[in-house]
Structure 1
């Protein structure tokens, strides 16, 4: 295997000059750079990524932890992270925690010991956790997708879930609905709580009653939405509309309602949250709140790169705003708007 010394001999330059050309660490004239590059090519020289990382104290690798879920929302965020890493010349190591705290701690330790340049964490169980590994690697920047209060230093990428919950409920109200239910995610999670509080605020601002029997806490998964409809169906009356706090639960709820012969949206209007890719292909296509999932991923990478360039400073919070996407799952009562 060819070395820099071999290239230097063939090109008639010093080994340090070869290093500067290959690592682009100092200006070298075009004529000499061409000689070095031609010599490297003829010798089939391949730079050692390990040697370069040791020299530069950078591995050009980021680690990312995600929680297992059937929700394609996570995959769409990861896509944004992966593409952004590729465009910036970084590799990405993706770890799946399977929702297990011990596996999460082990994965964080492994990634830090492999000298990743930064970490992106997308694990709801992190909220309120103390991660011992971060005490041992205080200089590794960490970005967290908003899951609430963190007991370690990190930058955060936040979707404004309070605003999103308000937007969803407001759309139902402006469409003429007055009897509105809500299927929440686990209310011990920050995003689920914020969306629910957005629903509450919109109802209160409109002077509408929130009926406790029409508010159901669920699990952010399709089966949770299916079970939530069964609970609604068991009540004396159904609401005319329901805000379901993510698209996966909305899919499960619509499936259960359809199985019971309930027409969506004529008998029950449904609005979701996330705007996952398949939402527009459902029957009926799902009115929902768009989260900028790809942008969430790219913003996380940008935050790490900014932190690597400017290490000191207070933790930063990047806010991304949700948007309403109107499709066919909400009936509008024009005479009641």
Structure 2
């Protein structure tokens, strides 16, 4: 494999001159530049990424740590994050914790050992407890997307979840529904709490009573959505509409409603949250709140790259607004 020394010997220039030409780090005359580049092409020289990273203390690699979830919302976010990393000539190393604290700690150590330039953190489960040992290791430039269960020195990219909860509930009210239930998505998460507050705000604004029996706590996955809807269907009086605080909950609710011999929206209206890709292909297509996933990913990558250049406070909280996607389930 050719080296800079080989290029310098053949081009009859110094190794530092070759380095300046390849890295475009200092002025070199056109004549010498052309001579060096001709040898580079002749030898099919490719700079060592490892050698460069050791020299400039930069690997142009971002780590993304995601706790396990069957929620397609997170996989869609990850796809956009990878696209934006690629557009900025960064590589993405994706690491799943699979619901295991020990594995989470090991994955963090692995990412640090790989000398990633920064981390994007995204926790999908509200029941996670992150140990102090893990938090003490998180000293790299970081951006939190969606949620993380502990406070860290990191920028945060989130959506306006109270507005989203309000828009979802108001959409049902505007369609004439007055008996509206909610299935939450892990009440420990402040985003879930905010969606619940948005729900209550819309009901109060419309002078509708808040029925505590119609507030069902759940988690953002298909099975919990199914179980929560089954509980709701046993309530008396029965609500006529349900706000599922994630599309995965809504899909589980669809199954429970179907098994009960009911129809959507004739017997039970359903509105979801996230606008995952499959939502538009359900029968009937799911009305939902669209999180700006592409914009969330773009902001996360751009904010992290800025943080890598300057890892000093203050830390930002960037909030993006969701929008209603009206379909046929209400």
Smaller-chain TM-score bracket: over 0.9
Inter-partner Cα distance in structure 2 for 1:207 and 1:215: 17
Shift of 1:128: 7.5
* 1:266-320, Cα deviation, whole Å (9 max, x unpaired): 1111100000001011100000000011222221110111112233230111111
What are the equivalent positions in structure 2 for 1:265-280 lying under 5 Å apart? 265-280=265-280
Determine if the alignment matches structure 1 residue 113 to structure 2 residue 113.
yes
Inter-partner Cα distance in structure 2 for 1:116 and 1:3: 25
Residue number in structure 1 paired with 2:57: 57
Do 1:180 and 1:243's aligned partners in 2 also have CA atoms closer than 8 Å?
A: yes
* 1:45-82, Cα deviation, whole Å (9 max, x unpaired): 22111110011110111100112222110111101110
Residue number in structure 1 paired with 2:199: 199
Do 2:149 and 2:189's aligned partners in 1 also have CA atoms closer than 8 Å?
A: no
What are the equivalent positions in structure 2 for 1:197-236 lying under 5 Å apart? 197-236=197-236
Inter-partner Cα distance in structure 2 for 1:136 and 1:278: 37
Inter-partner Cα distance in structure 2 for 1:137 and 1:57: 18
Residue number in structure 2 paired with 1:334: none
Matched pairs, number = 329
The two structures, once aligned, show a CA RMSD in angstroms of: 1.8
* 1:107-143, Cα deviation, whole Å (9 max, x unpaired): 11221122110000002469874654665674x2010
Runs of 5+ in structure 2 lacking a partner?
Answer: none
Do 1:124 and 1:189's aligned partners in 2 also have CA atoms closer than 8 Å?
A: no
* 1:251-280, Cα deviation, whole Å (9 max, x unpaired): 110121122221101111110000000101
What are the equivalent positions in structure 2 for 1:156-305 lying under 5 Å apart? 156-305=156-305
Inter-partner Cα distance in structure 2 for 1:224 and 1:134: 29
Do 1:105 and 1:131's aligned partners in 2 also have CA atoms closer than 8 Å?
A: no
Inter-partner Cα distance in structure 2 for 1:112 and 1:131: 17
* 1:126-164, Cα deviation, whole Å (9 max, x unpaired): 9874654665674x2010113266432001001111110
* 1:177-198, Cα deviation, whole Å (9 max, x unpaired): 1110001111112221111111
Residue number in structure 2 paired with 1:335: none
Inter-partner Cα distance in structure 1 for 2:3 and 2:10: 11
Inter-partner Cα distance in structure 1 for 2:135 and 2:212: 42
Structure 1, 308-317 or 2-11: larger mean CA deviation: 308-317
Inter-partner Cα distance in structure 2 for 1:315 and 1:256: 43
Determine if the alignment matches structure 1 residue 77 to structure 2 residue 77.
yes
Residue number in structure 1 paired with 2:36: 36
TM-score by length of 1: 0.92
* SS of residue in 1 equivalent to 2:188: coil
Inter-partner Cα distance in structure 2 for 1:137 and 1:96: 16
What are the equivalent positions in structure 2 for 1:6-17 lying under 5 Å apart? 6-17=6-17
Runs of 5+ in structure 1 lacking a partner?
Answer: 331-337
Do 1:130 and 1:151's aligned partners in 2 also have CA atoms closer than 8 Å?
A: no
What are the equivalent positions in structure 2 for 1:300-315 lying under 5 Å apart? 300-315=300-315
* SS of residue in 1 equivalent to 2:273: coil
Shift of 1:32: 2.5
Shift of 1:167: 0.7
Inter-partner Cα distance in structure 2 for 1:216 and 1:79: 31
TM-score by length of 2: 0.94
Q: 1:132 to 1:79 in 2, by over 3 A?
A: same
Determine if the alignment matches structure 1 residue 322 to structure 2 residue 322.
yes
Residue number in structure 2 paired with 1:333: none
* SS of residue in 1 equivalent to 2:318: strand
Inter-partner Cα distance in structure 1 for 2:153 and 2:91: 23
Inter-partner Cα distance in structure 2 for 1:16 and 1:226: 66
